[in-house]
Amino acid sequence: MEQVITVEYPGYLADSMRLNPDNFEKEIKISALVKLVELGKISSGTAAKVLQIPRIEFLELLARYSIGFLASTDLTEDMRNA
């Protein structure tokens, strides 16, 4: 079951990033998932699944955000799947 989160923001925020509303929404979603992985709240595999992209592509996103991708949740998940 899908859930929806609504975030109110001033229009100038997206404008300041030179993003249209759709791209801004995507950026916010990615940023939130990256932060959750960084905090160890979810695995990179879970984040990739939410974004509907391959895990390796999400790991590349982490690198763009200067986030290490060997979080403990990932190692635990990888060991379970080995």
Query: Is residue 53 a contact partner of residue 46, using CB atoms and an 8 Å limit?
Result: no
pLDDT in tens, 7-66: 899 989 999 999 999 999 999 999 999 999 999 999 999 999 999 999 999 999 999 998
pLDDT, residue 26, reads 94
3-state secondary structure 27-73: HHHHHHHHHHHHCCCCCHHHHHHHHCCCHHHHHHHHHHCCCCCCCHH
Query: Is residue 33 a contact partner of residue 65, using CB atoms and an 8 Å limit?
Result: no
Query: Is residue 55 a contact partner of residue 48, using CB atoms and an 8 Å limit?
Result: yes
